[in-house]
């Protein structure tokens, strides 16, 4: 029988597979992996490979959890659908058609709990947590670590990475679904799995995130990269950034300021001189802005290339007119984001050409956290704290970098482009409006927009203004109906769905 590798790791843990003859919907709730799916002969190599496998669900590699399983939303990560398409920034395709109509349903907010987008988000999130738990269980087994002879510093680093990734996946789940099951250890049988298949209050999920990030911060080395030879790994900087983001979503404004300040004091990150450097495949891990990204690579076995670029070859991913109109005249960021004439989304192609368009195995990374985003969190916190001048100062720093970025094709933006905002303003609503604008154009197509609108409580006003059928219930997405059904109702549905 054909097998689908769910680890993306080396052959050392090839036993960690799912049989493709077992339909995804026949798997136990929350995608848990059984004990018999993991090697019975652990070693330093297998434990390390299990850690590496935990990163894989963060990739946009095609068909990680299925074989062209569009019906269950498993062909590729659905971040661009639930964030960019849902927010009205992105259209499914350049030329509207009936292909994958469920994406259009997300766009219009005419979806049900059966929509594949939400099943995909749930599946990828819990797949990442499952893998993290398996690795954590081994790394926390001191007798096992002694038996296999793993160096203590390596063990600590890998364990810190796993706490971070578990928190990262929980963050995505709680912000999209609210109350979700909390999984903190691997299970040995289906009865234990079903017992755990109950939603826990969002407050407890946030507490688990905080606990995991605190542990990760203690364990990861005090260096820019956790491992200089593999700079794609989760670092202490990534941990502190996620702590700041969690505080942002919980309206803990002073904590946001303190955490971002702590990151600034490390001296690791700064705005690149050129806006596009953070996305340029030729400058990955040599520029100074990206804090955490998934390291896509071409030509590996198993594959770890960027499959989202393949979808663009079929006409997927286009800007909305409303998004395009948000850019101020001559803003260099627009041309680096999307070329409407040739229908290329450069930010997602990793180059200012179409070389990766249609490539199922492209090498450009998926950027999750970068410094401009983090600085704008601090600006938002400052605005909420009434420190308006500091907030506007950060916004102006972002605008200055954009203004001085070389224009695509050569030259500089005309004088008067992106003028500085008035730092003397003391109107919180005005500063928030400037912040909203700056985040939209600076972070466009990076899968942040819908979460921003939800966090600010403006999603209903903005999206109904775009003609979407947004309802109050849509501030949370529905729990995938298949998960509710498989759990015999122990996993309950969100209100209104």
The answer to whether 388 and 426 have CB atoms below 8 angstroms apart is: yes
Handedness of CA 289, 264, 291, 254 (dihedral sign): negative
pLDDT at residue 40, as a whole number? 73
Which one, of 55, 5, 132, lies nearest residue 296 by Cα?
A: 55
- The 10 Å Cβ neighbour count of residue 497 is 17
Strands (E), 62-194: 90-93
Backbone conformation region of residue 467, classed left if phi is above 0, alpha if psi is from -120 to 50, else beta: left
The pTM of this model reads 0.93
Residue-wise DSSP of 324-361:
HHHSPTT-HHHHHH-BTTTTB-HHHHTSSSSTTTT-TT
What residues contact 190, with CB distance under 8 A and at least 6 apart? 28, 34
3-state secondary structure 438-455: HHHHHCCCCCCHHHHHHH
Q: CA 216 from chain center: how many Å?
A: 18
Gap between the Cα atoms of 447 and 367, Å rounded:
10
Q: Which residues of the chain have pLDDT under 70?
A: 1-39
Reported as type and span, the H/E element at residue 318 is strand 316-319
pLDDT at residue 17, as a whole number? 27
């Amino acid at each position: 029988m054909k097998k689908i590798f769910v680890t993306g790791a080396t052959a050392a843990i090839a036993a960690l597979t799912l049989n493709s003859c077992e339909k995804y919907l026949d798997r136990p709730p929350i995608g848990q992996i059984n004990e018999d799916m993991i090697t019975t002969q652990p070693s330093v190599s297998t434990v390390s490979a299990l850690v590496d496998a935990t990163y894989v669900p963060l990739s946009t590699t095609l068909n990680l959890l299925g074989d062209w399983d569009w019906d269950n939303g498993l062909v590729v990560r659905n971040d661009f659908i639930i964030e960019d398409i849902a927010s009205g920034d992105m259209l499914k395709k350049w030329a509207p058609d009936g292909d994958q109509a469920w994406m259009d349903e997300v766009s219009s907010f005419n979806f049900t709990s059966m929509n594949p987008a939400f099943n995909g988000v749930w599946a990828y999130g819990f797949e990442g947590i499952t893998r993290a738990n398996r690795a954590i269980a081994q790394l926390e087994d001191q007798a096992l670590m002694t038996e296999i002879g793993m160096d203590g510093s390596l063990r600590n680093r890998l364990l810190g990475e796993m706490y971070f990734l578990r928190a990262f996946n929980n963050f995505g789940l709680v912000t999209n679904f609210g109350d979700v099951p909390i999984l903190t250890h691997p299970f040995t049988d289906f009865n234990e799995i079903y017992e755990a298949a109950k939603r826990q209050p969002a407050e407890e999920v946030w507490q688990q995130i905080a606990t995991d990030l605190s542990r990760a911060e203690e364990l990861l080395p005090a260096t820019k990269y956790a491992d200089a030879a593999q700079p794609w790994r989760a670092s202490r900087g990534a941990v502190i950034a996620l702590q700041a983001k969690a505080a942002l979503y919980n309206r803990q404004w002073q904590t946001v300021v303190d955490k971002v300040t702590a990151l600034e004091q490390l001296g690791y990150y700064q705005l690149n001189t050129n806006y596009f450097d953070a996305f340029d495949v030729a400058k990955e891990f040599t520029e100074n802005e990206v804090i955490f990204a998934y390291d896509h690579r071409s030509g590996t076995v198993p594959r770890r290339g960027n499959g989202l670029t393949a979808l663009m070859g079929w006409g997927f991913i286009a800007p909305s007119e409303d998004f395009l109109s948000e850019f101020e005249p001559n803003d260099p960021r627009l041309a680096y984001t999307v070329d409407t004439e040739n229908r290329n989304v450069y930010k997602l192609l990793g180059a200012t050409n179409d070389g990766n368009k249609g490539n199922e195995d492209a090498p450009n990374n998926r950027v999750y956290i970068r410094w401009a985003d983090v600085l704008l969190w601090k600006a938002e916190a400052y605005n909420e704290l009434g420190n308006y001048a500091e907030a506007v100062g950060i916004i102006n720093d972002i605008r200055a970098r954009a203004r001085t970025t070389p224009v695509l094709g050569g030259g500089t933006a005309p004088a008067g482009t992106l003028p500085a905002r008035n730092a003397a303003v003391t109107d919180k609503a005005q500063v928030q409006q400037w912040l909203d604008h700056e985040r939209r154009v600076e972070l466009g197509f990076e899968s942040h927009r819908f979460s921003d609108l939800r966090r600010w409580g403006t999603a209903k006003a903005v999206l109904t203004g775009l003609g979407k059928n947004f309802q109050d219930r849509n501030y949370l997405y529905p729990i995938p109906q298949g998960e509710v059904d498989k759990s015999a109702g122990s996993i309950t549905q969100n209100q209104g769905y």
